[in-house]
């Protein structure tokens, strides 16, 4: 098994763990674990149980198993659980976490179990690739939905998040023995510096120096997701029913989060035919403009401001963040592939990141390149 991968779930082992945790030997699977998705942080499977004595327990609902990738620190799951609990208490659409296990020996990887929210991942709900392949005449409608519906849903849900009181999250972290300082932007910047040093990515050091020298002061800290895109939102009946993958959660200013979303929306998909690439980039640019305009309108209503100079600064931060992750993966022997999480391993994507960083910061980078 290569780095950055996990084998299928050992269903018998999971069933035995849940029997021990819930104190019920009659527990079995109504739905066996089935992979729902995989990203750079974790693998997610869906399952459901039968044989529970209490029909009202949340364990009787559809569930997800989120297993952390081997390179991630298991303590990340404790952070995610604290975030879910605090935001769920504030009425924000996050699934409740029912169990956390940081010992990789239990199931081959640290994991958490959470409720599975109703609906579909927003990207799947819009694209429906199998239907689109059978009915290519739907393509104009898909483009229109991507240009208008997706930016609005992203902006509404993210502005809602930024308008929440961060106090309950701070208190929840303290109760779990975790420090809210670790979620601040200075801590994120220090972790980025450590990653660059540990992976010996000397060609990225000039970018790090620029970020440290130009760091904004006295930001207003709100709860930020750090990867607020359509692949991390579930929708049903036209509304967002769940926001997940809180591995990059932060207490930072809104511009940090907005810049991350813009970077993901504009992220180029490598290896496409030129005509598809041109259409895709135009659609992505349109999504980014509409998302940003919608967010700024909603932010004003919530008393939030979005300074464009700070937005450019954090845009440069996220480029360096992705280039650093690329370098780490290339050092570990990962090679460019078709999976979406591999897009930053392609030469053309890395070169675009370098060019964009120079445009935003005026600094030339020399990252580790594939091959």
**Residue 126: CATH number of its domain:** 3.90.1200.10
Task: For residue range 86-95, list pLDDT tens digits in order.
Answer: 999 999 999 9
pLDDT computed for residue 295 by the predictor: 96
- 261 with 324, same domain: the answer is yes
Asked if residue 196 and residue 160 are part of one domain, the reply reads yes
Residue 110 is given by DSSP the state: -
Burial of 273 (0-12, 13-18, 19+ CB in 10 A): exposed
Out of 168-182, 189-203, 224-238, 315-329, pick the least confident. Answer: 224-238
How many folded domains does the chain comprise? 2
Residues 166 and 257 in one domain: yes
Give the whole-angstrom CA distance, residue 337 versus residue 341: 9
**pLDDT given for residue 133 in this prediction:** 46
367 within domain boundaries: no
Confidence of residue 237 (pLDDT cuts 50, 70, 90): confident
| 149: confidence class by pLDDT, cuts 50, 70, 90 | confident
* pLDDT tens track for 321-359: 999 999 998 888 877 765 555 677 888 889 999 999 999
Model confidence at 128, pLDDT cuts 50, 70, 90, reads: very low
What pLDDT does residue 273 have? 77
Q: How much is the average pLDDT of 263-268? A: 84
Are 158 and 38 within one domain?
Answer: no
- Domain co-membership, 188 together with 332: yes
**For residue 129, pLDDT beyond 50:** no
Same domain flag for 196 and 52: no
Predicted confidence (pLDDT) per residue in 2-56, tens digit? 455 788 999 999 999 999 999 999 999 999 999 988 877 889 999 999 999 888 8
Question: Does residue 368 sit within a domain?
Answer: no
Contact criterion met (CB below 8 Å) for 236 and 124: no
Mean pLDDT on 256-270: 89
Q: What is the pLDDT of residue 132?
A: 43
| Contact predicate 356/367, CB 8 Å | no
Q: Cα angle vertex 79, ends 95, 316, to 5°? A: 100
- Eight-state DSSP code of residue 184: B
Please name the helix (run of DSSP H) or strand (run of DSSP E) that holds residue 207, with its range, or none. Answer: helix 205-213
Domain boundary among 60, 84, 115: 115
Indicate whether 253 pLDDT > 80: yes
Q: Which two tokens stand for residue 102?
A: 């940081």
Q: Is residue 26 part of a domain?
A: yes
pLDDT value, residue 41: 82
Six token digits for residue 329: 């993966």
59 plus 182 within the same structural domain: no
The answer to whether position 2 is within a domain reads: no
Whether 54 is covered by a domain: the verdict is: yes
- Assigned domain for 6 exists: no
Q: Structure pTM?
A: 0.89
Is the Cβ–Cβ distance between 186 and 349 less than 8 Å?
Answer: no
Give the domain-ending residue among 99, 115, 131. 115
Q: Which of 62, 81, 115 is the last residue of a domain?
A: 115
Does the residue 174 lie in any domain?
yes
Same-domain pairing of 107 and 124 = no
User: The domain containing residue 99 runs over which residues?
Assistant: 11-115
Q: What is the mean pLDDT of residues 192-218?
A: 95
At 131 the pLDDT is 45
Q: What pLDDT is stored for residue 309 in this prediction?
A: 92
- Same domain (yes/no): 99, 128: no
In a domain, 245, yes or no: yes
CATH number of the domain encompassing residue 106: 3.30.200.20
Best CA proximity match to 165, nearest among 221, 113, 230: 221
Residues 250 and 334 in one domain: yes
Mean pLDDT of all residues in 249-262: 96
Do both 111 and 148 map to the same domain? no
Query: Do residues 162 and 85 share a domain?
Result: no
């Amino acid at each position: 098994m290569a780095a950055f991968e996990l084998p299928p779930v050992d269903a018998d082992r999971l069933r035995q763990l849940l029997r021990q945790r819930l104190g019920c030997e009659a527990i079995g699977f109504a739905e066996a674990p089935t992979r729902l998705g995989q990203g750079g942080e974790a693998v997610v499977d869906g399952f459901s149980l039968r044989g529970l004595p209490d029909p009202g327990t949340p364990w009787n609902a559809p569930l997800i198993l989120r297993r952390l990738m081997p390179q991630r620190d298991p303590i990340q799951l404790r952070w995610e659980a604290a975030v879910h609990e605090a935001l769920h208490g504030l009425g924000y659409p996050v699934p409740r976490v029912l169990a956390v296990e940081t010992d990789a020996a239990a199931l081959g990887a640290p994991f958490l179990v959470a409720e599975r929210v109703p609906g579909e991942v927003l990207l799947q709900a819009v694209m429906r690739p199998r239907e689109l392949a059978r009915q290519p005449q739907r393509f104009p409608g898909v483009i229109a939905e991507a240009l208008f519906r997706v930016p609005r849903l992203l902006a509404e849900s993210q502005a809602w998040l930024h308008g929440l009181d961060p106090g309950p999250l701070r208190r929840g972290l303290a109760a779990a023995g975790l420090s809210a300082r670790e979620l601040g932007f200075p801590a994120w910047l220090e972790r980025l510096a450590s990653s660059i040093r540990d992976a010996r990515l000397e060609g990225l050091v000039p970018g790090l120096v620029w970020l440290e020298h130009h760091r904004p002061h006295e930001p207003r800290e709100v709860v930020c997701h750090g990867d607020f895109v359509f692949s991390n939102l579930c929708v049903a009946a036209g509304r967002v029913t769940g926001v997940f993958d809180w591995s990059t959660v932060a207490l930072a200013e809104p511009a940090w989060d907005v810049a991350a979303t813009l970077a993901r929306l504009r992220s180029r998909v490598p290896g496409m035919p030129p005509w598809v690439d041109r259409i895709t980039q135009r659609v992505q640019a349109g999504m980014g403009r509409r998302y940003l305009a919608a967010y700024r309108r909603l932010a004003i209503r919530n008393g939030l401001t979005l300074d464009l100079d700070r937005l450019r600064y954090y845009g440069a931060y996220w480029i360096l963040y992705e280039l650093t992750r690329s370098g780490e993966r290339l050092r570990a022997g990962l090679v460019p592939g078709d999976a979406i999480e591999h897009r930053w391993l392609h030469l053309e994507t890395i070169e675009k990141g370098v060019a964009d960083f120079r445009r935003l910061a005026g600094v030339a980078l020399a990252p580790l390149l594939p091959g």
